[in-house]
Structure 1
């Protein structure tokens, strides 16, 4: 009888252990199913048709929208030398008295900041032709380096079109429409692409210099995202600081693409990234992106119901807000207070 009871107890413990293992596995599978781009490092493209509604990771501050009490606003300041001055004379008083011949006591200034009428300015270069009396050869005056055709668009205008397309992300067709609507200039998409390619060539030295500055920056952020280029999948790799940004396209997401950008493996400071393993071995000093940390904390709070996760998220967001509003570094006392709260 005692032997049978012992056997049953052993079997019960084995069943309990197996049940605990299954429950743990079920919980892990449920966790994976519920993961999305807001509570994990998964990209938004993986959310599928049941994409969650966008929700900010910031917690409500309780403040009303708009400028806060004590906030120093930005006021449009008058300039001392306006481009145009329009004098508005006083001719008659409201009582009917003629004031047109009386001296002006003072002027009240009101300035309007506006765009000039959009139009292209045409500059004609007249190249002198002179016949040499010694050899009878006709010598033509040299034109400026950028003037190579009888008619052409200038560098400022082409740079503006390239800026709209590259920096503002406006499609080629709409840039053509802007050119026609604002300036009356009918340009082709090919003209804009040629301007972009020319600008790319002229920026080659600047890009190399930016890459070298990023390598020696104290903190460098790196990331990558997928996109379509000419109908094929590609990866846009980025390395950045608050003042510098370097982008590069590559067909590979991993180490080959990272090396092509030429920054992350050579960073001497702290490398900041998401949790993707390809970045973890690139720098002896590494930090994780706080946006991704907040997502993981949200997942822990939602799935595991740990209170400390939401408290840590609030701490990080509060620290970010205080850091953004500071004009000077924190004192040692403040640092110790922050560490104590942490």
Structure 2
């Protein structure tokens, strides 16, 4: 009898271990299936087309209906008083009795206007004629001077250059298609060689701009930094960005601290650096660091979705961060520089409570999920000050979205280029030109205006860290 009970106990223990192992596997599979752009670092482009990410936004509903809002600005197409062409449409005969109306006076007119684009005109050709004159006194032959931008017997003018550059540099249209669009929309036939030459030409002109922007960024009280990988001839390279709401500076390199420092900005700043959790920024000890809240919310969401009943601490911590963010937004709107002492104390109590719950619910567990929880909980415990930086300094945003938006065109250009760049030089030129166009856009300057100035008189330079009014060329 005792032997039978012992065997049964051993069988129960074996089944318990088996259940624990299977539970761990199920949690890992659930976590893997639930991973999308809202619960991990996976990009939105990897989300399944038929499944919208759960909880992808921390925004709360406003109660307003979709579409235009009452009292909001309107962009409805309006009729003009003096159209370019008028087409009279008189009635031919009466619809009541079929009488001839050709000599009958007009009683009233109902107007309908069609706004359209004219066909592309023929190229407008300007011939510059440098005249030669012989001095009657000494006999020296003197020539008139060509404008500075006229360097060849035949060439494209600054407007053609700016429009083509706007397509290939400003909107990431491939070279051949840019040439096609110029022919179809503007009536100008440009070669693919000319189109391909615009990026290196622009980058060569932007040396003064990059030095100027880096100098301004070093003075900024808060800067954002991020990096992303790209493929160059089958190898992986990285693009780095340092930016603010009105300045952008990008550069290429590896992912080491030396590559990060090569941008010439981060080692010189002394304010706050908003970033993600990449350890490559830890050597920058002269600045205060702020951790991107959006990354943390995604990590917490992934943990909670893997085990909703067993990982309530992750939801509690996520709710805390979202609530603190909303408090910071409201306080910033009131002109305050930090949250009040009571709000801060409440935030820290909830923060501590969530960490305690994580330790209690996962203590002694050896599952893969429990290991992930301990890693994430330790991160929150070690970097509390960095994570909550946005509550004590309202100049610091909750997320690093600024840098992520500024570096996103890298992926757009990579897709337009067939998935990779041919040369590292091409990536470096892209980084320089994108820095220029991004900064100009932040100052309210259109890409084509910025490019037109670049190819005529030289690069536009931002006059300060931030504009006091909207700037235009």
Q: Do these two structures clear the TM 0.5 threshold for a shared fold by scoring above it?
A: yes
Separation (CA, whole Å) in 2 of partners of 1:91 and 1:269: 68
Q: 1:66 Cα shift? A: 2.3
Gaps of 5+ in 1: 1-11
SS in structure 1 at match of 2:223: strand
Residues 289-342 of structure 1 show CA distances to partners (whole Å, capped at 9, x for unaligned) of 122111112123223533453355456557767988x89722559944865774
Aligned position for 1:187: 190
Conservation of the 8 A alpha-carbon contact between 1:91 and 1:99: no
CA distance in 2 between counterparts of 1:323 and 1:147 reads 55
Secondary structure at the residue paired with 2:267? helix
Question: Within 2, Cα distance between the matches of 1:111 and 1:327?
Answer: 49
The range that moved more, 298-307 or 240-249, is: 298-307
Residue in structure 2 matched with residue 73 of structure 1 by the alignment: 73
Question: Is the aligned partner of 1:55 residue 2:53?
Answer: yes
In the alignment, the residues of structure 1 paired with residue 180 and residue 343 of structure 2 have an alpha-carbon distance, to the nearest angstrom, of 54
- Whether the aligned pair in 1 keeps the contact of 2:241 and 2:250 (CA below 8 Å) is yes
Say which of 142, 161, 176 aligns to 1:139. Answer: 142
Match of 1:220 in 2: 223
Q: 1:186 to 1:319 in 2, by over 3 A?
A: farther
| TM value normalised by structure 1 | 0.71
State the distance in 2 between where 1:322 and 1:122 align.
61
Q: Is the 8 A contact 1:129 1:139 kept in 2?
A: yes
TM-score scaled to structure 2, two decimals? 0.54
- Contact map agreement 2:228 2:238 (CA 8 A) in 1: yes
Rg larger in structure: 1
Given that residues 41 and 274 in structure 1 are in contact (C-alpha distance below 8 angstroms), is that contact kept between their aligned partners in structure 2? no
In structure 2, which of residues 310, 314, 317 is the aligned counterpart of residue 309 of structure 1? 314
| Partner deviation per Cα, 1:104-160 (whole Å, 9 max, x = no partner) | 9xx999987765654443222122222333454432210001101121101232122
Greater shift after overlay, 303-312 or 193-202?
Answer: 303-312
Matched position secondary structure for 1:227: strand
Q: CA RMSD in A?
A: 4.9
Q: Distance in 2 between matches of 1:90 and 1:116?
A: 20
Unpaired runs of 5+ in structure 2? 1-9, 95-100, 348-473
How many corresponding residue pairs? 317
Q: Secondary structure at the match of 1:266?
A: coil
The 8 Å contact of residues 179 and 191 in structure 2, kept in 1 or not, is answered as yes
Q: 1:266 aligns with which of 249, 265, 268?
A: 268
Q: State how far apart, in whole Å, the 2-side matches of 1:338 and 1:116 are.
A: 61
In 2, distance between residues paired with 1:226 and 1:232? 10
Q: In 2, Cα distance between the equivalents of 1:156 and 1:287?
A: 44
1:278 positional shift: 0.6
Helix, strand or coil for the counterpart of 1:281? Answer: coil
Matches within 5 A, 1:236-255: 236-250=239-253, 252-255=254-257
For the Cα contact (< 8 Å) 2:31–2:302, is it kept in 1? no
Instruction: Find the residue that maps to 1:162 and give its secondary structure.
Output: helix
Contact persistence 2:120–2:187 (CA under 8 A): no
Counterparts in 2 of 1:111 and 1:51: CA distance versus 1, 3 Å? closer
Aligned to 2:213: 210
Which structure has more relative contact order (CA 8 Å, sep 6+)? It is 2
> Contact 2:229 / 2:237 at 8 angstroms: preserved in 1?
yes
